[in-house]
Structure 1
Amino acid sequence: MRLDLAGKSFAGRPVLGALRLAVGRGQRLAILGPSGIGKSTLLRILAGLDGDFQGRLEGRERLAVVFQEPTLLPWRRAVANITLPTGCDQAQARALMAEAGLTGHENKFPRQLSLGQQRRLSLARAFAARPDILLMDEPFASLDPGTAGRMMDLTARLLDRSGAGLVLVTHDAAEAARLGAAPVRLAGSPAVLAANGVSGLG
């Protein structure tokens, strides 16, 4: 996946400036920067969820997105939250739930799960889609340190096993390091990659 961005604006206000970014299977990238700098906007462009930008996005990779909010189907049980969006069978869904530490919660509704459990279910759903590249937007925010650490370790294991690439949006360089993701930093107004990007990514 390669993005050649000329610019992105909201209501005439430039948010992102010119930048280039490329990532493929097996590569891990973390987009760092303060809140409001445009990290999530950049991720939405990479995900194909925001097409209102100047530039070009190329790639045929299969993508999955994990947002800060779990975005689960509240009227469906946990297993169905994996099988319905991805098309995987129940055996695969249950196996992923077990790997995510959710054995025994298969028939619960999202409201019956803690935030950490909901986030792990969202992660299991993402990997059920067998992505070439996983896009994650602040997925560990507002979790207690222990829960966040366990979820990062789970993410690393699933990435290692699947060979998927990663683009992680975070404000915490320690999260990038724990997942083995090369850091790139957004800075300025409009935001661009610091030092005009990182060698090997363009």
Structure 2
Amino acid sequence: MRLDLDAKSFGPRQVLGRLALSVARGERLAILGPSGIGKSTLLRILAGLDTDYRGRLEGADHLAVVFQEPVLLPWRDAVANITIPTGCGAATARDWLAQVGLAGHETKFPRQLSLGQQRRLALARAFAAGPDILLMDEPFASLDADTAARMLALTDALLTRSGAGLVLVTHDPAEALALKARALHLGGDPARLQKD
């Protein structure tokens, strides 16, 4: 995947300036920067969710996104929360649930799961989609330190096992380090990428 961005604006305000970013399967990148700098906007462009920008996005990579919130179907159980969005079979969904430590929770609904369990379900859903590149938008925010550390270790292991690439948006350099991701800093006005 390659993005050559000329500019991204919201109304008269230019949020992102000229930048180039590329990531391939197996490669890990972390976009670091303070809140409000445009990290999530950049990730939405990479995901194809925001097409209102000047520039070009290329690549036929299969993507999966893990958002800040788990974004689960509240009226469906854990298995269905994986099979419906990904199209995989129930056996595959159960396997991914086991891999993220949710064996025995297959028939539970999101409201019956803790926030940490909901985040693991969202992670299972993303990997069940078989992505070439996983896009993550501050997925460890609002987790306590122990739960976040376990989620980081789990994500690292699943990335290694699957061979998927990663673009992580975060304000925490320790998360980039834990996921062995090359760090790029987003800063300035309008924001541009710089190597850390």
Runs of 4+ in structure 1 over 3 Å off? none
Deviation, 1:12, is 1.5
Aligned mates of 1:171, 1:42 — CA distance in 2: 14
What are the Cα deviations for residues 122-173 of structure 1, in whole angstroms up to 9, with x where unaligned?
0000000000000000000000011001111111111001100000000000
Quote the residue 1:106 is aligned against.
106
| 2:81 matches 1:81 | yes
| Superposed counterparts of 1:57-136, under 5 Å | 57-136=57-136
1:2 and 1:155 map into 2 onto residues whose CA distance is: 23
Q: Which residue of 1 aligns with 2:171?
A: 171
Partner Cα distance (2:61, 2:73) in 1: 25
Give the CA RMSD over aligned residues: 0.8
Q: Which residue number corresponds to residue 54 of structure 1?
A: 54
Gap regions ≥5 residues in structure 1 = none
Paired residue total: 196
Q: Which amino acid aligns with 1:42?
A: L
2:24 corresponds to 1:41: no
Counterparts of 1:193 and 1:23 in 2: how far apart (Å)? 14
Greater CA drift, 96-105 or 120-129: 96-105
Deviations 1:13-66 (A, max 9, x none): 000000000001000000000000000000000000000000000000000000
The 2-side partners of 1:47 and 1:127 are apart by 15
Percent identity reads 73
Report the TM-score, using the length of structure 2 for normalisation: 0.98
Counterpart residue type for residue 140 of structure 1: F
Work out the CA distance in 1 between the residues paired with 2:138 and 2:66.
Answer: 9
Q: What is the Cα deviation at residue 193 of structure 1?
A: 1.0
1:142 aligns to what?
142
Query: Structure 2: which 5+ runs fail to align?
Result: none
- Deviation (angstroms), 1:76: 0.4
1:184 maps to a residue whose letter is L
